[in-house]
Amino acid sequence: MTDPLLRMSGMDKHFPGVQALTEAELEVLPGEVHVLLGENGAGKSTLMKILCGQYAADAGEVVFAGRTVQPSGPLEAERLGLVMIHQELNLVPGLTVAENIYLGHEPTSGGLIGDRSMAAGARDLLQRLKCDIDPGLPVAELSVAEQQLVEIARALQRQARLLVMDEPSAALSDTEIEALFAVIRDLVDDGVPVIYISHRMPEIFAIGDRVTVMRDGHTVGTRKVSETGVAELIKMMVGRTIAERVPKREVVLGEVVLEVDGLSGAPFAQPISLSIHAGEILGVAGLMGSGRTELARAIFGADPIDAGTVSVAGRPLSGHSPAESIAAGLGFLTEDRKQQGLVLQCSVTENISLTSLGEVSRAGVIDLGAEKELARNEVDRLHIRVASLDQELINLSGGNQQKVVLARWLAARCRVLLFDEPTRGIDVGAKAEIYELMGELVEHGVAILLISSEMPELVGLSDRVAVMHEGSLQGILPRSEVTQERILELAVAVGKHLGTEPARC
């Protein structure tokens, strides 16, 4: 067997109230894509941040290219050739592509930055990635996929010998993911092995050579991708078997609790009308740019509309604002939880109670004990992993942050919930918990509008599926007609337009 390029052994890391790693191990071979898999909070990111100098380990040894190393910071790690591309891209929007690629490593001549040589070098690096982005463009004008390539080009400029990619496909379309995979294969062929962190099972088998599974800060084991399967990996991740099918609870539907009538505005090509019954999950499908998120934001009052009405339990929302929507019992779990759904510097308690302050206040003053009790009930209900209720959100894993957003709306006792990609970036164990929670909610008469890019999720959970295409509602499929093929036909505007009448059934 080839000697490992990287060996991490006996890695321990403790944070206040949390043992993040306990004797964790990882070996990466030259010339491979090594997938790192595990539930949110399993220790994957902590292990990689130790490798790339962002954290110092409490114990353990890191051997890279035959040498024991202990990077004191990211810059030292980069000098060793250890480069990490984070899920939240670290680019400066106002700088050009070339300036971002060379940031902190600008070529100079006579004490002046050589803009021409920087642009030429950036162009060469991008061409190596088979990319024709103009080095002079501001990064703010690029798509997420193009920004991802700029990050990779920057890693190459740093002469990366091992590249860590944390959830690189989270915001990419299927076509963009295929292009990213082609770049990764070229990197590996050029002698730059990749550690690839992902929650998406299909990606593991599409791009990985070997996979290491972590659970609760421990390394469970390593498998060749060609010699394992989804069921085994899931069992390794969660310590139990989870059925791959998405469980659908059969619920007797009640009265209409959300009605949207003639909603129109800038994002929509035509007025949109739909309704959702108590106990129903209405899925919303569509390709990127179809208007799914814009629809949810317009319903909630986060974006302005030109005309139309939104009614909750038969009462129109006159002011069309988030405050009025929340007061009426409408909750919105946004697609971007960090930018739009959470206050990262505030505590778990403060984030959960945000929409329920009236309930925990006395004469306009927050009852801190009542607030803590409300938060504790939801943390226990959703099995949120926290060191304490006072822990800042920024220190929680992505999956636990998502659960905090859910906890906020559950605490507010909403009658209607708008879920925009609720399981994006969530591991299979956390997904199963969220699916179970959705089942409990609809059994208690809550109506859910579910926006999802995952077809099995939409097909498995939805009572009906509304399909968007370029700002238009192409049709609403009854459960008997909900298939991946039929959804895609409407999503790309192939086949008959079904109209919106079924939404009023």
Burial class (CB in 10 A: 0-12, 13-18, 19+), 218: middle
CB atoms within 10 A of CB 137: 14
458 versus 337: which is more confidently predicted?
458
Mean pLDDT of 402-430: 84
Q: Compare 244 and 391 and report the one with higher pLDDT.
A: 391
pLDDT at 500: 34
Strand-pair category, 194-197 with 256-264: unpaired
Contact 465, 490 (CB under 8 A): no
Band the pLDDT of 502: cuts 50, 70, 90: very low
Q: How many CB atoms lie within 10 A of CB 49?
A: 21
The CATH T-level fold of domain 6-238 is Rossmann fold (3.40.50)
Query: Rounded mean pLDDT of 38-48?
Result: 84
Q: What is the mean pLDDT of residues 211-233?
A: 92
Residue 224 to residue 210: CA distance in whole angstroms: 4
Residue 504 pLDDT class (50, 70, 90 cuts): very low
β partners of residue 347: 392
Question: How confident is the model at residue 245, as a pLDDT?
Answer: 53
Q: For residue 22, what pLDDT band results from cuts at 50, 70 and 90?
A: very high
pLDDT at position 113 is 77
Q: For 256-329+414-504, CATH number?
A: 3.40.50.300
User: What pLDDT digit, counting tens, does each position of 286-305 carry?
Assistant: 876 789 999 999 999 999 88
Write down the pLDDT at residue 17. Answer: 66
- Going from N- to C-terminal start, the domains of the chain cover 6-238, 256-329+414-504, 345-407
Percent of the chain with pLDDT over 70: 93
Please tell me the predicted confidence (pLDDT) of residue 211.
Answer: 97
Give the pLDDT confidence score for residue 51 in this predicted structure. Answer: 96
* Segment 79-90 mean pLDDT: 86
The mean per-residue pLDDT over the stretch 321-344 comes to 83
Q: Is the fold of 6-238 the same as that of 256-329+414-504?
A: yes
Cα-trace Rg, the chain? 24
pLDDT in the model for residue 246: 66
